[in-house]
Amino acid sequence: MADEALVEMVRSFVAAEVRPVAEELDETERFPAEIYERMGGLGLLGVTVPEADGGSGGTTLDYVEVMEELSYGYSSVADQCGLVELVGSLLSAFGTPEQKEAHLHGLLAGTRRCAYALTEPGAGSDLGGLATTAWRDGADWVLRGEKVYIHNAPVADFALVLAVTDPERRKRGGMSMFLVDADAPGVRRAYKEKKMGQRASPVGGFVFDDVRLPGSALLGAEGEGFGAVLRVLEKGRLGIGALANGISRAALDTAREHARTRHQFGRPLADNQAVAFSLADMATDHEGARLYRDARSPRSTRAPARSSA
């Protein structure tokens, strides 16, 4: 699919399915499962996952464009797209056929909910400080630890968990990834955050109390988890940047429309020079952020956001 067609398809979807319910979702904190199933049907989950694994086989720029357009409608929806992109990419790259059948296909269809369990009370940006551990017990693994600030923890069907498997080596070959059933014995959903924004994107914690995992729960080779996680986090940062850019474009459009239609002292607010200057600054900042994205690519599918106030 040409990227222009992709952008127009996502814009149409957002206008019809996301923007009309965004306010209700943010107010009620409802998880919009029906929206994600429709996104799965349109190929908007797992944008860069290869077609052979059920993804769309798109480029990273395609993913960035999808994230920005979804976020323009409601950032919680884009947040879910970004989460599936990261977990789906790891499952595609490292999963066995059995793991893909159990988790990846439903994830990309929007019918299975994942969590990406990295952050801990004492380790967030510094993943080398993880305290969650897993050790072998015969053919099984035993997982113990706590994760906090985890997207989808309150609603997930499964979590991809990063744990220390060799305390001596840690991030230099001593961390591994595990696929953990969120309802398995010993797994506890610890809490749900009360958020100020993106309220339909639930965040919470997990406690793993000596959770027994089969050997097949290991994703990828033992000790390769840290490098794998960093690899997809690079793409994740691009997605978050695009999410922020979608929010800024929506804010600019909303502010500009209000300035044009709201009248004070017999004229639109936009006729006030101070207001017009503020809108111009917003438009400049947004366009600058968009150009950062396009600087590495000859493609540009959108006209610059400009203020005529």
The bridge status of strand 175-181 relative to strand 218-219 is antiparallel
The beta strand positions in the chain, using DSSP E, are 114-117, 133-137, 140-151, 158-164, 175-181, 187-192, 203-213, 218-219, 263-264, 267-268
Tell me the β-bridge partners of 211: 143
Measured from the Cβ of residue 279, the count of other Cβ atoms closer than 10 Å reads: 22
Residue 296 is predicted with a pLDDT of 54
CATH superfamily of 3-109: Acyl-CoA dehydrogenase/oxidase, N-terminal domain (1.10.540.10)
Among candidate residues 206, 196, 243, the one with its CA nearest the CA of residue 29? 196
Helix (H, G, I), strand (E, B) or coil at 225: helix
Report angle CA 86, 206, 214 to the nearest 5 degrees: 75
**Per-residue buried b or exposed e for 44-55, using 16+ beta carbons within 10 Å of the residue's own CB:** bbbbbbeeebbb
Amino acid at position 258, single letter: H
What's the alpha-carbon Rg for the chain, to the nearest Å?
21
| DSSP code of residue 3 | H
Residue 303 is predicted with a pLDDT of 40
DSSP labels, 7-49: HHHHHHHIIIIIHHHHHHHHHHT---HHHHHHHHHHT-SSTTS
**Per-residue buried b or exposed e for 214-248, using 16+ beta carbons within 10 Å of the residue's own CB:** eeebbbbebbbbbebbeebeebbebbbbbbbbbbb
Tens-binned pLDDT, residue by residue, of the chain (309 aa): 448 899 999 999 999 999 999 999 999 999 999 999 999 999 999 999 999 999 999 999 999 999 999 999 999 999 999 999 999 999 999 999 999 999 999 999 999 999 999 999 988 888 889 999 999 999 999 999 999 999 999 999 999 999 999 999 998 999 999 999 999 999 999 999 999 999 999 999 999 999 999 999 999 999 999 999 988 988 999 999 999 999 999 999 999 999 999 999 999 999 999 999 999 999 999 999 888 776 655 444 444 444 333
Q: Which two tokens stand for residue 290?
A: 């968009």
Among candidate residues 201, 25, 44, the one with its CA nearest the CA of residue 109? 44
Measured from the Cβ of residue 274, the count of other Cβ atoms closer than 10 Å reads: 8
Residue 209 CA to residue 187 CA, distance in Å, equals: 6
Residue for token pair 């010993």: 186
* 8 A C-beta contact, residue 26 and residue 76: yes
- At the topology level, CATH places domain 114-223 in Butyryl-CoA Dehydrogenase, subunit A; domain 2 (2.40.110)
**pTM over cut 0.85:** yes
Residue 12 CA to residue 303 CA, distance in Å, equals: 17
* 8 A C-beta contact, residue 165 and residue 223: yes
Domain with CATH 1.10.540.10 in the chain: 3-109
